[in-house]
Structure 1
Amino acid sequence: MADIELRNVSKRYTNRVAAVEDVNLHIRDGEFMIFLGPSGCGKSTTLRMIAGLENISGGELFIGGKRMNDVAPRDRNIAVVFQSYALYPHMTVAENLAFGLKMHKRPQNEIEERVKRVSAMLGIGQFLERKPAALSGGQRQRVALGRALVRDPAAFLLDEPLSNLDAQLRADMRLELVKLHRQLGSTIIHVTHDQVEAMTMGERICIMKDGRVVQVGAPLDVYRNPANTFVAGFLASPPMNLIEARLVGEGDTLWVEAGALRLRVPAAYREAYRVYVDKPVIFGIRAEDIHAHQAQPDWQVLDANVVALETLGAEVVLVMGISGIARADIAARLGRDYRAQIGSRQQLYVDLAEMQLFDPQTTNAVPRPQA
């Protein structure tokens, strides 16, 4: 069993600055968990506390039901893969893979069998006699993963292992890691600041900010129901459009108003949002919920001025402004054939079934029923 539980775990340094504050998280046995957040949010520090590379200032850590606060890193049966690969440059690939097993005084025949099996699994068998300097970045990363795999640990902790790779290699390694997890069934914690990695790899995402856990959930649940404006603006590229607005009531109908923007709130959300009538709100809508054509009769018209057009091959991201809204450019993710002149006025259509409202004081999402 390699379920990992953090109970009120904190990390404070000598200057009393809290790098991690009061983290409560249960990572299930065999789960692929992503720690996601901007630089300095505490995700790597949390990972290092689980590994035993940082002391825990407060709270308790359990691995497989056993309290681990005072257990040495080598006795936790956990493997760590670092961003820098951390390979021994004077050793061959085979020697790097075997090093940990030799330190644990495993029999030579067992070491050779494990190195052969893991190198075949990762496709690095032909590099066993090379040294790290003779390998590409992707090959070095595979060796770093292999050195962790060969120990057959209870859990793998990956600290931004793909960040040094180019875009194509990152995509390839994402797929390899997912396949590896399915094959091994081991617990994996993967630290990243890359939203694509988080959405495509993890079974659950733990989003952190300023040393605290902000939201934990399945990738699509977090994406569609962000807990606050930070999650809404951080998870996805382009991020959710967030517009300072006001909620206006006219009889049974509610409207979101901001400058020239005036959109009718779906009937399903009226009761949930009615408490904010005549109050400021933050209106949120994803870029993919703004469309070039009205495919559904309840999609509402949005008139906007074209600010920029980002042609990405598979899609076009339209950046636009709305009269009377000075501090927000709005992004729409449109089909690859969409074209418009910069500065022109365009009519688009918004699917308000996917709208979000946030409280401007707390920045928390206003709970809503499913449409």
Structure 2
Amino acid sequence: MASIELEHVSKLYANGAYGVRDVDLKIEDGEFVIFLGPSGCGKSTTLRMVAGLEGITSGDIRIDGRSVASLPPRDRNVAVVFQSYALYPHMTVRQNMGFGLKMRGMSTAAIAPKVRDAAQMLGLANYLDRKPAALSGGQRQRVALGRAIVREPNAFLLDEPLSNLDAQLRAEMRLELVKLHRRLGKTIIHVTHDQVEAMTMGDRICIMREGKMVQVGNPLEVYANPADTFVAKFLATPPMNLIPARLVAGRAGVPEVVGEGIRLSVPQRHVPAYADASGRPLLLGIRPEDIYETEAGPDRQPVDVTVVAVEKLGVETVIVGQIGREKPLELSARVSRHFDAEVGQTVRLYIDAMPMHLFDAQSERVVPRLPLETTTPAPAAA
């Protein structure tokens, strides 16, 4: 097992563009860390630099406290699993999984139990004599993982390994990877652009944008307390509603956030933090799941929405509507699956103001306030 440290690591290309800029991160021994971000943000480049497949321009990379920045990939004792399975089509599962060990000079007798144990762990014991063409996409990805496992590396580096799978297989493989991490206890870096993977798999999320890490933390903490509008919008679907607003003095001295078609009293818990935010352009951040169809709850406040679209998803209903008249804005709400509304209808919904955020409209950074408590769900049985 291994800790991994990136100390002010940058990657500068010949054209003067930064692929990665000043990434500073420590990953603890046995930790499952997610690199999350849109295409081109530098997450795969960062992973490849840890693996030694990309050189670094400045900074240092340490594995278990030892600098590896100048070491070739084979001397870092990490295993990389890519988006493409990269299996040899003419070889069986058994041969594919053991090929790396064979190339290192290990005997067939020594390779066999390692392959057998990994296949048993991954549910591939009955497929060892099949070739990749006879396997499903999920089984092929398991073979690629098995090939990495038999090497017994100190860390696994996974570069969007689930992207080629359909939705159901992705969900199954997410659970399999979490179980695998618990069994092996090895350090894992998992690169993805999928928010669901990030929220459900990682001990920590590292959100990247334009080569920089903009926020690192426990998934629920990052979700509840985004550092800026980019994180707020990127980490959920539908994204956080962001409404141009300003802070004004309200009734009985309670400050209010006022925007097009919306007026919210600031919960008392947030009043001290927002005291200096008046007089400047702001963005009010409200997550769709903090908008309800009923008034129950001490901090729920009304907003009238003209329905533009209704998405019935079975487990819930997503309402997309317009608020305001002069400059109408769209507002998304995730409500009960039993909620019924027609396009063109005006409905009254209720915003829970307690989880709201204010962002500076110019810098797009969050206006700091006391973070809300988050709870981490109990781990699923392995």
**TM-score (norm: length of structure 2):** 0.95
Identity %: 60
Deviation of 1:174 (Å): 0.2
Encode CA deviations 1:240-278: one digit per residue, 9 max, x unaligned: 111111111246211111122111111111111121213
Alignment of 1:248-259 (within 5 A): 248-250=248-250, 252-259=253-260
Equivalence for 2:234: 234
Distance (Å, rounded) in 2 between the aligned partners of 1:16 and 1:153 = 35
Equivalence for 2:101: 101
Equivalence for 1:11: 11
Out of 244-253 and 92-101, give the one that drifted further.
Answer: 244-253
Q: Secondary structure at the match of 2:354?
A: helix
Q: Secondary structure at the match of 1:274?
A: coil
Equivalence for 1:184: 184
Alignment of 1:206-355 (within 5 A): 206-250=206-250, 252-324=253-325, 326=327, 328-355=329-356
Distance (Å, rounded) in 2 between the aligned partners of 1:79 and 1:280 = 48
Q: Secondary structure at the match of 2:349?
A: strand
Match for 2:255: what amino acid?
L
Distance (Å, rounded) in 2 between the aligned partners of 1:94 and 1:127 = 8
Deviation of 1:66 (Å): 0.3
Q: Secondary structure at the match of 2:334?
A: strand
1:362 and 2:363 aligned: yes
Contact 2:244 2:260 in 1 (8 A): no
Distance (Å, rounded) in 2 between the aligned partners of 1:107 and 1:130 = 22
Match for 1:58: what amino acid?
S
Equivalence for 2:145: 145
Contact 1:246 1:281 in 2 (8 A): yes
Out of 10-19 and 172-181, give the one that drifted further.
Answer: 10-19
Distance (Å, rounded) in 2 between the aligned partners of 1:353 and 1:99 = 56
1:60–1:252 CA distance, 2 compared to 1 (3 A): same
Match for 2:88: what amino acid?
Y
Encode CA deviations 1:150-178: one digit per residue, 9 max, x unaligned: 11110000000000000000000000000
1:19–1:94 CA distance, 2 compared to 1 (3 A): same
Distance (Å, rounded) in 1 between the aligned partners of 2:162 and 2:326 = 39
Alignment of 1:68-147 (within 5 A): 68-147=68-147
1:208–1:325 CA distance, 2 compared to 1 (3 A): farther
1:273–1:325 CA distance, 2 compared to 1 (3 A): farther
Deviation of 1:107 (Å): 3.1
Contact 2:33 2:203 in 1 (8 A): yes
Count of residues in correspondence between the two structures: 371
Match for 2:358: what amino acid?
L
Alignment of 1:141-180 (within 5 A): 141-180=141-180
Equivalence for 2:376: none
**RMSD across aligned positions (CA):** 1.1
Match for 1:105: what amino acid?
G
Match for 1:102: what amino acid?
K
Contact 2:2 2:28 in 1 (8 A): yes
Distance (Å, rounded) in 2 between the aligned partners of 1:326 and 1:24 = 42
Match for 1:256: what amino acid?
V
Distance (Å, rounded) in 1 between the aligned partners of 2:51 and 2:328 = 43
Deviation of 1:129 (Å): 1.3
Contact 2:299 2:354 in 1 (8 A): no
Contact 1:94 1:115 in 2 (8 A): yes
Out of 309-318 and 126-135, give the one that drifted further.
Answer: 126-135
Contact 2:260 2:329 in 1 (8 A): no
Encode CA deviations 1:174-226: one digit per residue, 9 max, x unaligned: 00000000111000000000000000000000000000000000000000000
Deviation of 1:325 (Å): 6.6
Contact 1:258 1:324 in 2 (8 A): no
Deviation of 1:132 (Å): 1.2
1:334–1:206 CA distance, 2 compared to 1 (3 A): same
Out of 290-299 and 340-349, give the one that drifted further.
Answer: 290-299
1:35 and 2:35 aligned: yes
Encode CA deviations 1:307-339: one digit per residue, 9 max, x unaligned: 111000100001111014736311111111110
Contact 1:249 1:278 in 2 (8 A): no
Q: Secondary structure at the match of 2:179?
A: helix
**TM-score (norm: length of structure 1):** 0.98
Deviation of 1:295 (Å): 1.6
Encode CA deviations 1:42-61: one digit per residue, 9 max, x unaligned: 00000000000001111100
Equivalence for 2:378: none
Distance (Å, rounded) in 2 between the aligned partners of 1:324 and 1:361 = 24
Distance (Å, rounded) in 2 between the aligned partners of 1:15 and 1:260 = 47
Out of 98-107 and 21-30, give the one that drifted further.
Answer: 98-107
